Structure 1
Amino acid sequence: MRLGTECARAAQTARALANTPSNVKNPPWLANQARAIGRAAGLRVTVWDEKALARDGFGGILAVGSGSVHEARLVMLEHRPGAATEPPIVLVGKGITFDTGGLNVKPAAGMLMMKTDMSGSAIVLGVMAGLKALGVRRRVIGLLPLAENAMGAASYRPGDVVTHYGGTTAEIGNTDAEGRIVLADALAYAAAELDPAALVDIATLTGHARIALASAMAPSYGTDDALHTRIRDAFAAAGEPLWPMPLVEDYRSSLESDVADLSHIGPIGGQGAGSILAALFLREFTGGRPWVHLDIAGTGRSESDTGFLAKGATGYGTRGLLRWLVEE
């Protein structure tokens, strides 16, 4: 009974935040929401503003947010029950509060649901807020990289080279592939500074995920088979099915760059596999830690009320993540 109640509460939190219009919701506003919700749930909350992001080397988050009048943020939420000292599970959620596509501007129809492009961060926040009430015994940390991908005189450009947290450089191929840029910073920080037992990210990341699986299930990728299986089982039990996808090593060469450590997308005019290439890019920032990537671009939004997929932002993944953490 308690699990069901907390799953419903967490999903409602995620949906309410994701459905908030972006003239209200910007990175500082969402960071303040995370601070209030986190503290009310007994979480330790840390927020990086733009000066702190620049000081600590979060070049990806800053690049994506550079065209907006609203400053970028990074939020860290920590659930540490009792005297727990074991390496944490780290959850990372994409937090683009609105996505115009940047200088590679989206078509008008493509922007209509972009207020929900921070669904990953909303889901992680909802999950983190439910951990104490459910008595989760594991130490869990949530990271919310928040930026608005807007157009302005200072916008990052195709062809720019971005330096991520830890020093890895990425050549920008398309400013509308911004989600992986902010996620890369957060994943690199987690791998280098938090000693994670497991890394899990969730994001409305690629149109290719929606093309492949529509809205019935989400593609998932993993570097640790046992971890990946436990997460898929928990999601299935929660009514949020995942479909395992391959990290095709032969495709890694598509991310090579002549001017940076990586190209952040595959070649322009390539043959597709966009969801796989995005996952391969993100893997570069996980430091070899056990990692699972959930691409909810198809399942995170719905045009009608269909079962668990409520119209608008669905909160897909909130129930699955909570169930998995309770069982871990």
Structure 2
Amino acid sequence: MPKISSADFSALISGKKKKEITHLALPVTNNDGIEIAVSQSLKREIEKTFKISLTDELAKVGPAFTGKVAEILEIPLLGDEKKVSRIYCVGIGERSPQDLRKAGAALGRKVKASNAQLLTLCPSDESNALTHLVAMALGSYSWSEKSGPQPETPSFFISDSYRRVLKKAEVLISGTWCTRDLVHTPANIATPEWISGQAKRFGKIPNVSIKVLSGQGLREFGGLKAVGNSSTVHPPRFVRVSYQPKARTSPHVVLVGKGITFDTGGVSLKRPYDVMMGMKSDMSGAAAALMTVVSAAELKLPVRVTALLMLAENALSGTSQRPSDVIKHYGGTTVEVINTDAEGRLVLADGLAYADKHLDPDYLIDIATLTGAATLGLSRYYGAMYTRDEKLAKNLNRVGDFIGERVWHMPLVDDYSIALESDVADFNHTADKFAFQGGSITAALFLEKFVGKRRWVHLDIAGPARSENDAGENPKGGTGFGVRLLTEWLTTL
């Protein structure tokens, strides 16, 4: 993860940090002419330090540099050993959160490609500075298991004037970065046992506790066992991660995360086979839930937060569940299995029922890469959000728009519940896709049966949890979606 440090601007340029800094980044707007979007006093200090006129340097470029969002102009600084080697002028558009994210991410990728150690000057507004810093760091993300030297992790320096937002920025960056690392780790390493071991490491954080169940400890978790017992080498785990601040015990938020470490589809084998290439990321929900609790603890939020990680591998073996099997979930509800490739809702149902019975949550949220159907209308940039609580939905929508992890409020259509009727059990766990469409909706309706009367939200992040290419703050592969959304939402409670 990149390191972010703060200090007085003059000290950064002339003090002991000077030799570590190779580049300076300045935000630029174009409102009837290109302008450096920093205070006049800071602009004068920069020009005095580097013995240049920024206005003149920009004028030399002419119309080639328009200052549009995410456009970057390099100004080389030569002939003076006290100077950094380059100034980056970065277009930030109209300073909207979306523009600042695009600009920050573009700058982060530029820094990563050049191995620069960057001093960045953010827009002066604190919320804008936070948006810019987080996007910049996340844009510099990389992950590789290649042999040989790895790319150098960039360092970012910021002026003391942004110190107040630095801690929050670091936590949001760290939470998302660690989630991405977990998601990118291949499934031969990131087994249920391995992920539970990673979770235990966070038990050292003050007010955080970890509980892991396996083997006979899972005897009541019928859904988790039905899915996870397909892998005798990597059996399932239930991990409870709790943050309980000393000063306050309410509200209590419980997050239930789908943690399928690899999904073959089971007996209902995925096809075409190349769909499986991304299935190591089917534990993205559990990773996001884990790191949201860690982020809340790091920020010392006055909110009690618990994550339930439902960890299993959906393998194909002689112990795999079968279509037409009937399983008993936590709490006693029976379900007829229709399609073993709809395994995520089976493990989530156990977690939701456990939370309702034992944890008395004020808010109950599940997060999962659940259905391909969710991507049909929303594609890759929005998560599907299901809840009957309009106030809660509006708050999550607002937070998502601000933080850059957007969700769309989807309908829970009661008429579709007929698709879940079973002749032999309390419910089918999925509709017959050849007889009934709306797979994302029917999945949410199934999960709702396990939440009691709780204030509940289902987040289907099948679209935004993975990116097919480098785009904005997101790398190709796992994006870490959900950590920033849920952490920022917790700050509003």
Q: Does the alignment reach a TM-score above 0.5? A: yes
Q: Aligned match of 1:192 in 341, 357, 366?
A: 357
1:126 maps to a residue whose letter is M
CA contact (8 A) 2:205 2:297 kept: no
SS of residue matched to 2:311: strand
In structure 1, distance between residues paired with 2:240 and 2:265: 26
SS of residue matched to 1:97: strand
Moved more, 274-283 or 83-92: 83-92
CA offset at residue 84 of structure 1? 2.9
SS of residue matched to 1:132: helix
Kindly report which structure 2 residues correspond to 1:209-220, keeping only aligned pairs within 5 A, or say none. 209-220=374-385
**1:49 and 2:217 are equivalent in the alignment:** no
SS of residue matched to 1:131: helix
CA offset at residue 41 of structure 1? 5.8
Match of residue 86 from structure 1: 250
Match of residue 370 from structure 2: 205
**1:139 and 2:273 are equivalent in the alignment:** no
CA contact (8 A) 2:433 2:439 kept: no
Which structure would you say has the larger Rg?
2
Moved more, 16-25 or 75-84: 75-84
Match of residue 285 from structure 2: 120
Match of residue 20 from structure 1: 185
Match of residue 224 from structure 1: 389
CA contact (8 A) 1:10 1:318 kept: yes
Kindly report which structure 2 residues correspond to 1:1-328, keeping only aligned pairs within 5 A, or say none. 1=165, 2-40=167-205, 42-54=207-219, 57-68=220-231, 69-86=233-250, 88-107=252-271, 108-328=273-493
Moved more, 302-311 or 6-15: 302-311
Query: What RMSD, in angstroms, separates the aligned Cα atoms of the two structures?
Result: 1.2
CA contact (8 A) 1:39 1:45 kept: no
Q: Which runs of 5+ in 1 are unaligned?
A: none
In structure 2, distance between residues paired with 1:41 and 1:97: 28
SS of residue matched to 1:141: strand
CA offset at residue 153 of structure 1? 0.9
In structure 2, distance between residues paired with 1:210 and 1:105: 20
In structure 2, distance between residues paired with 1:241 and 1:252: 27
Match of residue 140 from structure 2: none
In structure 1, distance between residues paired with 2:206 and 2:443: 33
In structure 2, distance between residues paired with 1:256 and 1:323: 38
Q: Which runs of 5+ in 2 are unaligned?
A: 1-164
Q: Tell me the alpha carbon deviations over residues 205-235 of structure 1, each in whole angstroms, 9 at most, x when there is no partner.
A: 0000111211021111112111222122111
Aligned-pair identity (%): 47
SS of residue matched to 2:474: coil
Q: Which has the higher contact order (CA 8 A, sep 6+)?
A: 1
Number of residues of Structure 1 aligned to a counterpart in Structure 2: 326
In structure 1, distance between residues paired with 2:215 and 2:453: 28
CA contact (8 A) 1:202 1:294 kept: yes
SS of residue matched to 1:243: strand
Q: Tell me the alpha carbon deviations over residues 170-196 of structure 1, each in whole angstroms, 9 at most, x when there is no partner.
A: 100000000000000000000111111
Moved more, 229-238 or 274-283: 229-238
Q: Tell me the alpha carbon deviations over residues 268-294 of structure 1, each in whole angstroms, 9 at most, x when there is no partner.
A: 412320000000000000012000111
In structure 2, distance between residues paired with 1:140 and 1:223: 22
CA contact (8 A) 1:95 1:119 kept: yes
In structure 1, distance between residues paired with 2:327 and 2:281: 25
In structure 1, distance between residues paired with 2:323 and 2:423: 14
In structure 2, distance between residues paired with 1:201 and 1:17: 19
In structure 1, distance between residues paired with 2:395 and 2:215: 37
